[in-house]
Amino acid sequence: MTTSSTPGRVPVVWSPDTRLHEPRHEIWVGAATPAVEVPARVDAILAALEGHPRHEATRHDDAVLSAVHDEGLLDFLATAAEAWAAGPYAELVGQDRVVPYFFPTPAMTQGMTPTPAVALHAQTGRWCYDTMTLVGPGTWPAARSAIDVALSAADLVAAGERTAYALCRPPGHHATRAGYGGSCYLNNAAVAAEALRRSGHERVAVVDVDAHHGNGTQAIFWDRADVLYGSVHVDPGAGWFPHLFGHATETGTGEGAGTTRNLPLPEGTRDARWVEAVGELADWAGSAGCSALVVSLGVDAAADDPESPLLVTADGYRGAGRALGALGLPAVLVQEGGYHLPSLGGLVAAYVEGHATS
Ligand code: SP5
Ligand code: ZN
């Protein structure tokens, strides 16, 4: 067990099983487009973090996972690919990815209590809220192993490491208690935060620097005072995913009133204002008396990222790392988005270096 850390060296926790998820496609505005959340992301990040000690995740039971997610979602994700393979879909449509076509929204049910759908292709939309997040044969083992990665990193921090990096894939911050979407299935960062709570930290901050708002993490902790959620992201009010959430007016409810903070930024923001916004979230988390930190480390705010609107550079990510590392809190860094394979690893390494040396 490590009880002291070498400055600048951050344990990198990973699992080879995170490569098993192959989404292949995203269905977007009715067309199948090539998936960007691909297994090669894992190897790009591992290569860039080669100088840091590497730890393979160990298996954890479902206790923390079940505290964060609805059992129905977990059962669906664990069994959907096999059930799909057993159905007529290969013959009917010639493809083996579970994808919804039917969504039981309030507009359809209009206050009536629906009887759960029998057909698998009609059940999927109960749990999946978009058409971009396909489930294949490797999705569950990968998503479940990403939870083990997050929990193993939280273990290292609980044992005295100042900072641990969790190479989670698929990402997680769009997954809600009972829903998946946005290329996310299980909420790795929320599970890490819950684990830190259970290891004795009375108040934990989750700070999310992914280009997109982490609506899942926000929803999971929306009414809780013991886990703060702060995010900097491209403004959903300008038309960006996740569309409904991430506005500055969303601040939490009940005991969680004031424990959510959103800093939506316009397209074309660039480093200076983006790093300043990360600093505002760091100040907020620091002054709220948090004793541990989870960073939802998406690097899709980078200029090279496909569709990236925020135009952040590696220097910007290094600056974000410095701002959050300067809090001096025990921290689990959880990988979220970031899709430009040639620059992805360098962006993660820049953040980790900034965080660990500040
Ligand atoms: C974890 C994370 O970063 N999830 C990103 C989810 C948002 N994706 C929105 C993509 C919408 C448009 N995609 C068009 C693909 C055209 N090739
Ligand atoms: Zn993102």
262: which strand partners?
231
The two structure tokens encoding residue 244 = 């409904």
Residues with CB in 5 Å of ion ligand 2: 210-212, 298, 300, 337
Percent of the chain with pLDDT over 90: 95
Answer for the pair 135, 96: CB distance below 8 angstroms, yes or no.
no
Residue nearest to atom 6 of ligand 1 (CA): 182
Ligand 1, atom 3, residue with closest C-alpha:
337
CA angle centred on 68, ends 64 and 70, rounded to 5°:
115
* Ligand 1 pocket test target in 28, 300, 344 with most atoms within 8 Å of CB: 28
Say yes or no: CB of residue 210 within 6 Å of ligand 1: yes
* Tens digits of residue pLDDT in 315-325: 999 999 999 99
| Residues contacting residue 80 through CB under 8 Å, at least 6 positions apart | 98, 120, 124, 135, 140
164 vs 241: CA distance, rounded Å: 29
Q: Which of 173, 308, 179 is nearest to 229 (CA)?
A: 173
8 Cα: distance to centroid of ligand 1 (angstroms): 32
- Phi, psi (5° rounding) for residue 301? -80, -5
Pocket perturbation via mutation, ligand 1, pick of 217, 241, 335, 339 by most ligand atoms within 8 A of CB: 241
Residues listed for the chain = 358
Identify any residues that bridge with 231 across adjacent strands, giving them in sequence order.
Answer: 208, 262
Ligand 1 in reach of 182 Cβ (< 6 A): yes
Q: What's the mean pLDDT in 78-93? A: 94
Q: Which of 206, 132, 146, 140 is closest to 15 using CA atoms?
A: 146
Hey, what are 119's tokens? 């057909």
218 lines ligand 1 (CB under 6 A): no
Is the predicted pLDDT of residue 7 greater than 80, yes or no? Answer: no
Separation CA 210–CA 204 (nearest Å):
19
Ligand 1 touching residue 337 (CB < 6 A): yes
- The yes-or-no answer on residue 174 being catalytic is yes
Q: Report the atom number in ligand 1 closest to the C-alpha of 173.
A: 1
Catalytic residue among 21, 60, 121, 174: 174
Relative to the CA of 339, which ligand 1 atom is closest?
3
Task: Report pTM.
Answer: 0.97
The C-alpha angle 39, 44, 45, rounded to 5 degrees, equals: 100
Chain segment 239-276, per-residue pLDDT in tens:
999 999 999 999 999 999 999 999 999 999 999 999 99
3 state DSSP class of 3: coil
Q: Which ligand is nearest to the CA of 25?
A: 1
SS3 29: coil
Ligand 1: does its nearest atom lie under 6 Å from the Cβ of 212? yes
Distances (CA, A) of 79 to 73, 75, 118, 135: 10, 6, 15, 10
**Distance in angstroms (rounded) separating the CA atoms of residues 230 and 279:** 11
Q: Whose CA is nearest to atom 12 of ligand 1?
A: 28
C-alpha closest to that of 234 among 261, 258, 210, 260:
210
Return the residue matching tokens 């298996």. Answer: 59
Output the pLDDT for position 5.
62
Is residue 1's pLDDT more than 70? no
Around 42, how many Cα atoms within 13 Å sit in the side-chain half-sphere? 22
| Cα of 309 from ligand 1 centre, angstroms | 12
Pairwise CA distance, residues 288 & 281, whole Å? 11
pLDDT at residue number 2: 43
Q: Give CA separation, 85 vs 17, 124, 262, in Å.
A: 21, 14, 41
Percent of the chain's residues with pLDDT above 70: 99
pLDDT digits (tens, 9 = 90+) for 325-358: 999 999 999 999 999 999 999 999 999 999 999 9
